[in-house]
Structure 1
Amino acid sequence: MRPRAVCLLIDLPIRAALGLVVGASLLGEGAALAATEIRIAHIHSLTGPLEAYGKQTTTGFQMGLDFATGGTMMVAGKKLVVIEKDDQGKPDVGKSLLTAAYSDDKADIAVGPTSSGVALAMLPVAEEYKKILLVEPAVADSITGDKWNKYIFRTGRNSSQDAISNAVALDKQGTVIATLAQDYAFGRDGVKAFKDALKNAKIVHEEYLPQNTTDFTAGIQRVVDALKGQGGRKVIEVIWAGGTPPYNALAAQELAKRYQIEVFTGGNILPAMAAYKNFPGMEGATYYYFGIPKNPVNEWLVSNHYKQFKAPPDFFTAGGMTAGIAIVEALKKTGGDASPNKLIAAMEGMSFESPKGRMTFRKEDHQAMQSMYHFKIKVDPAFAWGVPELVREIKAEEMSVPIKNKR
C-alpha cells in the first residue's frame, strides 16, 4: 500500500502539469485562431414576416465584403468569417442569438437585425458584452435615439431620414394626411418622425394595424372617414414593412375616384412595388432603387447582381452591401484590430463609399448620414413594378436629422 500512496503523490502533480500543458496548448490554438480571423455574426430574419428583406441583406452583405476586400475575404492578413443566424423576426430569439454570438461563437462584430423590434431587444446585449453591433436595416429612430449605446452604429436609414425625405413631396399648405402604419416600433417611430418633419401639412388621423394584418377593410374605412369630409388635398401616407402590404387593398377602393384621396408611400422591395402600378404619378422618397444612384459602387453591384442572379439588386441588397463595405473600411483603418474601442475610434466620423454614394457615420449617434431620393411612379410595361423615376436626390446635408440619443 505504501508504494501505491507514493505513486499517487507523484502522479497528481504530473497530471496537473499535463493539464496545464494541454490547457496552454488549447489557449495557444485559440489565440492563434483569434490572431488570424475576424468573426462577424450576421443576425437577421431568414424566416418570418421580414424573410424577403433578410435574404436580400444576406446577399448584399456577402457582395459588400467581396467588393471591399477585392474578392479575398481578408483584411490586414486576417480572414473574415461570417456566422449566419436567423432571428425569425422575434425579439427574444434575436437577443439570445446575439448573446450566443458574442459569448460562444466569439464574434468580434455583429450585424443586423432586420426588424426594429428585434434590434431594440439586442441593443443592451451589445452594451453588456462591450462589442460592436452594426444595425442594418432596422429603421426605428430609437435605435440610434433614446435606446442607443456607444457600441451601436447604423448603416441603414432611420425613421427621421425616411420622414424628412417623404415630407418633401407632401408638406404643403392645405394638405391633410391620415397615416396607415404597423403597430410596432417601425410604424410608430415612422409616424412620429413624419409628424415632426411636417411644417405645413396637417395629420388628422393615425391608424395602426397589427403587423400580420391581411384584411384592411376596417382600417381603410376609418382612414377614409377621417379624410373624406376634409377640404384641400387629401392623402393617405402608408408606412409598412413586410407581411401583406395594404397597397392592393387601397387600390381596390378607388379612393381617388370616389373621394379624391391620394395614396403616398416610400420605397420598397420590387415585389411590393408591383402594386405601385395602381398609383401612376404617386410621389414619395426611397432609400434605394437600383436605377437611380450613379456611382462606381452601384454600377459594380448592379452588374454583378445581374451576372449572379439574372435580376437587379433590390432595396435591402444595397443595405447589406453597405454594411459589408463599412466593416471592411473600419477594419482597414484599425489595421485589422477588431477590438471595440479601436473600431469606435475608427468609425466615428468615418466616411465610406456605398451603392448610394458617400455615407458618413455621425459622431454623436453613429447614424450613417446619406442621400435619399424623391421619386414619382411611372408605369412602364417593360417592368413588373411601378418604376420610381428620380425627381431629385435629397442630399444628406439638406436633411436636418435630429440627434435623439443621450450620449
Structure 2
Amino acid sequence: MRVPKKLLLGSVIATTAFALAACAPTTAAPEGDGAAEGPEEITVGIITSETGPLAGYGKQYLEGFEAGLDYATEGTGEVDGIALNIENRDDAGDPDTAVTIAKELIGDGINILAGSASSGVALAVAEQAAQNQVLFLSGPAAADAVTGINEYTFRTGRQSAQDVATAGGFLDDIEGKTVTVFAQNNAFGQGNEMAVEAILGSKGAEVNSVLVAEDVTEFTPFAQQVLAAEPDLVFVAWAGATSGAMWQAMSQQGVLDDIPVVTGLGDAATFGAYGEASEQISFLNHYFSGGPDNEVNDAMVAAVEEAGGTPDLFTPDGFVAAQMLVQAVREGKGDVDAMIDALEGWSFEGPKGETTVRASDHALLQEMYQVKLVEQDGAFVPELVGTVDADSVAPAEAP
C-alpha cells in the first residue's frame, strides 16, 4: 500500500472569498475559509547525462523537455497556478553518481524525478524512487527491465522490446534461423539481447550474442566473432560515442556484405557512420523529425529549432516527460499517489501521435518507424519506409 506524500514547496497562501452583492442566489464562503489548492511551487529534479558518453542524448532530452514544458503549460511554466521549478543535475552516465544526486534531491524534499539517458542509471534511480516513494519519469533509457520495475516509475520513451518488434517487420519467416545480437555489455545491450531472445526466439529463431565492454575502442576482433557465428541475421544494439568506430569495423570485416543486418537508426551524428554500407542496413527507428505527421511534432520541431537546437532521436522523450509531468501535477498537485493515478492509463497526443501510458506496468505505447538512409547533397539522411502502429509493437506486459 502506498503512503501518500505531499510536496509543499513555498508557503500556501489563504485566499479570501469575496461576497457577491445582488447576484445569483449563491452563498459566499465566510472570509478566510477558502484556501489555494495545492502548493505554490513544485520543484522537479532532472537527472540526466550532460557530460560523459551519453551527453548528446542528455542534450536532446533536455531540449525536448524545455519545448514540452512550454507547450504543455502554454508558455507559463505553471500548472493551475503552481509554478514548476526545474533543477537539472548531471549524472555523467554513472549510476552511483545518479543515486547520490537522487538522495540529495529527495533529502531536499523533492518527490518528482525525471531523466536518465542510461539504462543503468534508470534502474538505479527507479530503486531509489521505490524506497523513498517518489515519482520517477524515466527518460530515453531503453532497458526493458525499467518497465514494471515498481509502481513509482514511468517510461517517457520507448523500450528495447519495441525496437525488436519493429525489426521483426523487416523479416520473413525466421523459424530455425540463427540471429546474432551484437551489443554493448551494459543494461541497454543486455536488455536488447533478452528482448531478441523473447520476441524472435519465440518465433523459432536460435539466438546467440556477442557482447562488448563499454570501454572497448577496437572492434575488429568482435566483428570477426560475429562472422564466426555464421548467423542468418545480425541484430545490432549500440549507443554512444563509439558507434562510428564499431560500424567501421563491421564494414571492414565484411559483416555488412555477407549477412543481413538490422539495427536501430541512432541520432543524427551517426547518419554518416555507415558510409556506402547504408543501403545494406535495415533500420528501425524510434524518432526522426520527418517520421511523424501531426501538429504536436510540428510544434516541438519549431520550438527546438527556434531555441537553436536540432530535433533528434530522444527529443520527443523529453517533450513527453514534460507532458506527463504537467498531467501529474494538474491532477495530483504534488501528491505522489494522486500523480500515479493521474498517469496510469492516460492517453494523449505526443510528438509521435497517440501515446498511452499502460496502466499495468507503465510502458509507453507509441508508433515506431522503418527507415532507410539515402544520400542527399553529399550526406546521408533518413527516409521513412513505413510506420508501425503502437499496438503492433507493444511490449509484453511486465509481470
Please, what TM-score do these two structures have when normalized by structure 2? Answer: 0.86
Q: Deviations over 1:170-207 (max 9, x none)?
A: 35337532211010111011111012111556345310
CA distance in 1 between partners of 2:376 and 2:67 (Å): 29
CA distance in 2 between partners of 1:29 and 1:326 (Å): 20
Q: In structure 1, what is the equivalent of residue 168 of structure 2?
A: 167
Instruction: Pick which of 167-176 and 157-166 moved more.
Output: 167-176
Q: In structure 2, what is the equivalent of residue 268 of structure 1?
A: 266
Q: In structure 1, what is the equivalent of residue 211 of structure 2?
A: 208
**Contact 1:44/1:85 (<8 A) preserved:** yes
SS of equivalent to 1:271? helix
Q: Aligned letter for 1:344?
A: I
Q: In structure 2, what is the equivalent of residue 302 of structure 1?
A: 301
CA displacement at 1:400 relative to structure 2: 4.4
CA displacement at 1:393 relative to structure 2: 1.3
Show the 5 A alignment for 1:183-332.
Answer: 183-198=185-200, 199-200=202-203, 202-203=205-206, 205-227=208-230, 234-245=232-243, 246-257=246-257, 260-277=258-275, 278-309=277-308, 312-332=310-330
CA displacement at 1:390 relative to structure 2: 2.0
CA distance in 2 between partners of 1:201 and 1:280 (Å): 28
Q: In structure 2, what is the equivalent of residue 127 of structure 1?
A: 130
Please, what TM-score do these two structures have when normalized by structure 1? Answer: 0.84
Q: Aligned letter for 1:396?
A: A
Show the 5 A alignment for 1:95-106.
Answer: 95-104=99-108, 106=109
Q: Aligned letter for 1:323?
A: A
- For the aligned residue pairs, the C-alpha RMSD in angstroms reads 2.1
CA displacement at 1:299 relative to structure 2: 0.6
**Contact 1:205/1:223 (<8 A) preserved:** no
Q: Which runs of no fewer than 5 residues in structure 1 stay unpaired?
A: 1-27
Q: Aligned letter for 1:285?
A: L
Q: Which runs of no fewer than 5 residues in structure 2 stay unpaired?
A: 1-7, 14-37
**Contact 1:290/1:312 (<8 A) preserved:** no
Q: In structure 2, what is the equivalent of residue 66 of structure 1?
A: 70
**Contact 2:180/2:226 (<8 A) preserved:** yes
**Contact 2:142/2:160 (<8 A) preserved:** yes
Distance 1:256 1:139, change over 3 A: closer
CA distance in 1 between partners of 2:372 and 2:72 (Å): 33
Query: Highest CA radius of gyration, 1 or 2?
Result: 1
Q: Aligned letter for 1:361?
A: V
CA displacement at 1:326 relative to structure 2: 1.5
> Percent of aligned positions with the same letter in both sequences?
35
Q: In structure 1, what is the equivalent of residue 181 of structure 2?
A: 179
SS of equivalent to 2:283? strand
Q: In structure 1, what is the equivalent of residue 22 of structure 2?
A: none
Q: How many residues align?
A: 363
CA displacement at 1:307 relative to structure 2: 2.5
Greater share of helix: 1
Q: In structure 2, what is the equivalent of residue 156 of structure 1?
A: 157
**Contact 1:44/1:114 (<8 A) preserved:** yes
SS of equivalent to 2:103? helix
Q: In structure 1, what is the equivalent of residue 368 of structure 2?
A: 372
**Contact 1:212/1:243 (<8 A) preserved:** no
CA distance in 2 between partners of 1:167 and 1:225 (Å): 23
Q: In structure 2, what is the equivalent of residue 343 of structure 1?
A: 339
Q: In structure 2, what is the equivalent of residue 404 of structure 1?
A: 398
Q: Aligned letter for 1:84?
A: N
CA displacement at 1:212 relative to structure 2: 2.3
CA distance in 1 between partners of 2:180 and 2:120 (Å): 24
SS of equivalent to 2:62? helix
Match of 2:54 among 36, 50, 66: 50
Show the 5 A alignment for 1:15-54.
Answer: 30-32=10-12, 35-54=39-58
